[in-house]
Amino acid sequence: MTSARPGVRRKTIGQIFGIPLLTALLSAVGLVSALVGDGIWDSVSWGMLLIPILLCGYCLRQAQK
């Protein structure tokens, strides 16, 4: 039998999966825009695909502190 520890708050599905879903959505938009065309689409794809890389770098820096 499991019991909740005092002072520990449960997280909702949105709190658990919100950031990963947003990252996946931005990556998908970046990949599709890279396939769609040239010009502005190239800029959109670079921007969207750069966000997950920056997010990983941020998380790695936070883990080192």
pLDDT given for residue 46 in this prediction: 93
Q: What is the DSSP letter of 38?
A: S
pLDDT > 70: percent of the chain? 94
**Confidence class for position 3, pLDDT limits 50, 70, 90:** low
> Encoding tokens for residue 59?
């998380």
Query: What is this structure's pTM?
Result: 0.72
Q: How far is CA 29 from the centre of its chain?
A: 12
